């Protein structure tokens, strides 16, 4: 995470659902944006995009 926090595991019932940020990344990736481009647009690092 950008704040240095550790990501927590999701409960089994929500494991297949995307977070708002994941959905946004998926939409941009579907439009052929690269990880660095997505990171710049969302103000996150390319590694976070991965």
Taking the model in full, what pTM does it have? 0.72
Distance in angstroms (rounded) separating the CA atoms of residues 29 and 43: 15
CB 33 within 8 A of CB 41: yes
pLDDT at 18 > cutoff 60: yes
Residue 28 has a pLDDT of 98
13: its two tokens: 């019932």
Residue 23 has a pLDDT of 95
Nearest to 28 by CA among 43, 44, 15, 39: 39
Domain boundaries, the chain: 18-49
Rounded (10°) angle between helices 20-30 and 35-42: 130
């Amino acid at each position: 995470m950008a704040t240095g926090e550790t990501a927590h595991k999701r409960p089994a019932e929500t494991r297949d659902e995307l977070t708002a940020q994941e959905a946004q990344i998926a939409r941009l990736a579907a439009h052929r944006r690269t990880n660095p481009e997505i990171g710049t647009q969302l103000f996150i690092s390319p590694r976070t995009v991965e």
